[in-house]
Every structure is written in structure tokens, then in C-alpha cells.
Amino acid sequence: MTLVTERTKPRVLTNPITGQEIVLVGVIAVLWAALAVSTPAFLTAGSIQPLLVATAPIALVGVGMTIVIITGGIDVSVGGAIMVCSVITAKTLVSSDVSLGVAVLISLLSGGVLGLINGVLIAYGRVHAIIITFGTANIFMFLGLQIFGSGTVNGIPATLGFFGRGEDGRTLGVPHAFLVTILITAACWWYLRHTAGGRHFYAIGGDAQAARLAGVRVQRRVLLAYVITGLLVGLASCFVIAQGTSTLDQSVGSGKELAVIAAVVIGGTSIMGGRGSVLGTLLGALLVQTVSSGVTQLGWRSQLSDLFVGIFIIVAVGADLLRARARRSR
């Protein structure tokens, strides 16, 4: 256990806030100030509230993705998983008069099962995560389309309005979806930094063999990481349904995996594993959505949003590689 303790105290855990998180706060503040000057309507409730609502599902799934990437894995199936969870929950709401709690539970169970499938295949199949999740991404997408049947799901009741855009979806002007995301991020932040179980994820990403020799149950931890991601995908799917109108179309979940991975990488999590922070992921998701919102409000071409996010990703990965090189040279 001594070895585990030493290995699970990487530098990222010694300070409550990392340098990259401070930089992200500064970048977001500069962007918000620039957008406020360029488009006076930006710093209004009508602009900020939709921005926070759009940030919530990306950040929430990003929290799970952060834990997965910390262990040295990745999950590119979250877009397909969101489609499956969303259509199952939406069809249940249309066909049955279930309550908010039951709808959330159905979505959580759906996401948990999909995460469990990924986790079992990766933890016990000994195949790289990107291969497994690329395969399950296509399977989940096919499954989702089959459940959709033809066309869209129409007439979805407002059962999930608690997480939506209207008055019922806010407290003191802050969207409930974003408040829930902050609470879950804070809980995961505490778990990763202040518990032995949380530090085991870092140990696995740093050196899985050493972690195993030190007594960490690597396969169980890896399995848990994907199940957590699946559960968060399920909850995020409720946010996605609540954001829309009474209709759900087959584009739901499309491209979400790229936005989530971008938020995690920009947030400072090392794609090589062993380092990362869910707080950074929350800030990364807020930055990605700020860029998207800013491009829209300025009337620029939407492709510029992809360009700016791509630049942020390259800068974040470059900074991570420089930090890794500096550590090796000490």
C-alpha cells in the first residue's frame, strides 16, 4: 500500500487548483469581456442561461470521460450512447405517464448498462479502449436508430422541464442542469483527490502494472470508470431531452463525443493518462460552448467555431507534452 500511496500523489493532486485551470478562467474571462463589448446582448440572462444549459451535458459526460482518460483509456461511444438513452427515455415519456424521478432512473439505467458493456469488454477483453468503443459507438448508433424506428419521437411531455430552459428549469436565474453538473463535478473532484479509490485511477494511468503489483484491482477500477461514464451519459441525456421542444430527432448525440473529448483535453487532462482534473473539464466545456455561442452571436461562419476549438486543443496538448518533457528532465 505504501507504493500505491507514493504513486498516487502526483503533482496534480498537491494543489487545489492547477495552473491550467487558472489559465482557463483567465481565457474565459477575456472572451466574455470581448463578447460583451462586441455584442452588448451577450452578458444578459437571455444569452448566458442558454450557454450554461448547453454546457451542462458536455461537462457532465466530460467528468466521466476525464476519469476514463486518467486511467489511460478513452470512450468514443458516448455520442451513440446519448442517442440510445435519449430515445429510450423519450419513448417511455410518450407512452407512459412516468414521473421525473422514474424518467431519470430509466435513463441512468440505460446509460449504466451501456457503460458496463464497454467496461467489461475493455477491462477483461484486454483490447485497447479506442478499438472497443469505436465498435460499440457504431453498435449503439444502430441500436438507437432501430429504437427510433422511422422519423422522430413526437409529443414528448414536459416531465423533464426541471432540467430545461424555462422558468421551471431555473433557480435564482441559474439553470438546474448546470447546478447539478457543478454538484457532481465537485463530488467527483473531491473523490479523485481525497480518497484512496480516486487516487487509484491516477495510479493506473501512470503505470498500470505497478499499480497492480501494489494491490490495486486494476480491472475493477477500469470497469468502474466506464460505468460512471455511462451513468453520467444517462443523466446528460435527460438534459438533452429537456433542452429541446417536444420532439426528438435522430441527430441527437451526433458529434457529442468530439465536444466532450475537446473539453477534457482543453481542461488539462493528459491524453496519455495519469493526470487530469474534472474542474478543468468543466472549464473546458464552458470555453468550448463560449466559443460556439460567440461565433453565432457575431454572425460568423459556424466552421470558425471548429477552427478556434481545434487551436485550443493543439495548445493544450502542446502544453501537456512540454510539462511531460520537463518532468522527465528533472
Q: What is the pLDDT along the chain (330 residues), one digit of tens a residue?
A: 444 444 444 444 556 677 788 999 999 999 999 999 998 888 899 999 999 999 999 999 999 999 999 999 999 999 999 999 999 999 999 999 899 999 999 999 999 999 999 999 999 998 899 999 999 999 999 999 999 987 899 999 999 999 988 888 999 999 999 999 999 999 999 999 999 999 999 999 999 999 999 999 999 999 999 999 999 999 999 999 999 889 999 999 888 999 999 999 999 999 889 999 999 999 999 999 999 999 998 999 988 998 999 999 998 888 888 877 777 776
Three-class SS of residue 124? helix
Which residues make Cβ contacts (< 8 Å) with residue 181, sequence separation at least 6? Answer: 55, 56, 59, 60, 63, 282
Domains annotated for the chain, with CATH where assigned, are 45-329 (1.10.3470)
d(CA 205, CA 215) in angstroms, rounded, equals 15
pLDDT digit string, tens, across residues 255-279: 899 999 999 999 999 988 999 999 9
Residue given cell 493526470 in the structure block = 275
**What are residue 184's DSSP bridge partners?**
none
Copy the grid coordinates of residue 169. Answer: 428549469
pLDDT digit string, tens, across residues 142-178: 999 999 987 899 999 999 999 988 888 999 999 999 9
If you ran DSSP here, which 8-state letter would residue 175 be given? E
What Cα–Cα distance (Å) separates residue 116 from each residue in 11, 69, 155? 31, 16, 31
